[in-house]
Structure 1
Amino acid sequence: MGTDFTYYQDTIKAQNQSVEISKNITTAQVHRFNSHVDTSDYIPSRQHTEVISELMVKPSIILPNRERQYPGTDWLTVLIFAGIALFASIRYGYAKYIHHLFLSLFNYATSVRMLNDKSYPVFHAAYRLEIIFYLALSIFVYQGLNLIKWESARVNPTYFGFVLGGVLVYFFGKKLIYLTLGLLFETQNETREYLFNMDNFNRSLSLILLPIVILVAFAPFKTPVFITVSGLIIFLIFNLLLLKRGVFILLKKQFSLFYLFLYLCTLEILPLLLIYKVVV
């Protein structure tokens, strides 16, 4: 029993001495000791920088990347944002007008009622929708020409200015010719009604073309051909509906088929065929 107690005391004393020795060992002594130890049989510790570099080389989350189809077109984004801002300015204040506008495309009585009640101020939604239409249609034509890589197409604001000017000349020139023919054939009232319906169709079309040009510009597709073709089909459908409305308006006047052909086919179909011929 005494022998065990003496062994226990010796063990406690040895542990206390080892603690005191470990306290007195300096850092320099530890480095000298390590330098004399053969570490070839040990696995070297991984540095913190190596772990960070591996995490950076192999990220856990990979974000999708899409190459821009039209680099250097930030100005086009500004134009699209301007169209969105115009729409936002009329979204809630003129919701009832927008409802009647789309209803007038299929309901002739609604169109006549809007024509008789036409007393829009300068900043009415109708005129803002026309601005959106000319802007969105010009962007759509510009995107289409760049998509088919037309030989004269250039990705710059100057070229877009020519496209916008061509769109404005086409529509305002067509209106001027309609008014001139209406004066010559004494059909001013019918001509004004048809032009009012044409403006209504264009205003409605602006609310469809604006999302289309946004999708063409920012949709995650390498070549947004399907979206462009869909926009072209919608544009042609609206023009066919407008021709149908024009035939209905002119037949009320008991027009001859010659005048009807002169009014609609010459001024609506022929210019589009000429534009198609020039582009293709």
Structure 2
Amino acid sequence: MEFITREILSTNWLTVLIVICLVLLATAKSINALRFYDFVALFSNNKYIISYQKPNKLSSLFNITLLLLQIASVSLFLYLCFDVFEWRTTPIEITLYFKIAIIYTVIVIFKVLIEKIIATIFSIDAIIDEYLFYKISYRNFTGLLLLPINIVFIYTFEPSKIAFIILLVAIAILNIIILVSFYRKNENIILNHLFYFILYLCALEIAPYFILYKSIKY
């Protein structure tokens, strides 16, 4: 029986990054343990959304901590994705990761700012605040789900293109389901402003991820 050794590049910086993610996770729990447990159960029930939507502030320490976790975890997943599909354009691994993280952070912040401006212009602050909390909460949870997947891919299981395609499709479907569930809840408002809604989807829900891919690859 022949053993095939897996060639593992230096993972020192990856280990540091994962430790930072775990520290962020522990910090969120220490800030508000009850809220953290509700957040962890987000996909099994709507208690977190119902309980924290109205009094929530996106700039709260709890949300900022989870957002940082999302950025770190999602950026790491995208880094592994670029590596597996051989889209890497920079010879230094950590440089590619920081490039992904910076561009992803800029897009996330830019989207929130634009949506807040739109809310002010059309006097729909309440619904946009609700939408932002709903969307960011689920994407923070996606970042949490990706953390153990990243750990497995780095230290245990060598990722394949098929595995990443399945994961990317699953994440895309999950995001679509999450967004559609909110849109259905507010379908009367959307139907009354259908043109602006379609424009919004193209400009702020589709284009940013295309820009992210192009910005990193070239």
User: TM-score, length-normalised on structure 2?
Assistant: 0.80
| Per-residue deviation, 1:88 | 3.6
> In structure 1, what is the Cα distance between the partners aligned to 2:47 and 2:32?
20
Q: Match of 2:16, as an amino acid?
A: V
Q: Is the 8 A contact 1:216 1:228 kept in 2?
A: no
Once the two structures are superposed, the pairs formed by residues 1-280 of structure 1 within 5 Å of their partners are 66-69=5-8, 71-90=9-28, 94=32, 96-101=34-39, 111-118=49-56, 122-124=60-62, 126-221=63-158, 223-253=159-189, 255-275=192-212
Distance apart, 1:118 and its partner CA: 2.3
**Cα RMSD for the two superposed structures:** 3.3
- Structure 1 residue 228: deviation in Å? 2.6
Contact 2:71 2:101 in 1 (8 A): yes
Pairwise CA distance, 1:109:
7.3
AA paired with 2:18?
Answer: I
Change (3 A) 1:103 1:82: closer
- 1:108 to 1:262, Cα distance in 2 relative to 1, 3 A: farther
Distance 1:277 1:162 in 2: 12
Contact 1:247 1:260 in 2 (8 A): no
Q: Give the number of equivalent residue pairs.
A: 216
User: Matches of 2:139 and 2:50 in 1, distance apart?
Assistant: 17
Report the residue type matching 1:233 in the other structure: V
Give, as a single letter, the amino acid of the residue that structure 1 aligns with 2:184. Answer: F
Q: Among all aligned residue pairs of Structure 1 and Structure 2, give the percentage whose two residues are the same amino acid.
A: 23
1:258 Cα shift? 1.1
Matched residues in 1 for 2:153 and 2:46: separation? 33
Give ranges in structure 1 of 5+ residues lacking alignment: 1-61
Cα–Cα, structure 1 residues 174 and 121, in superposed 2: closer, same or farther, change >3 Å? closer
What per-residue deviation string (whole Å, max 9, x for no partner) do you get for residues 196-218 of structure 1?
Answer: 11111112112201011111111
Change (3 A) 1:213 1:79: same
Give the direction of change, closer, same or farther, for the CA distance of 1:83–1:154 in structure 2 (3 Å limit). same
2-side partners of 1:79 and 1:225: how far apart? Answer: 23
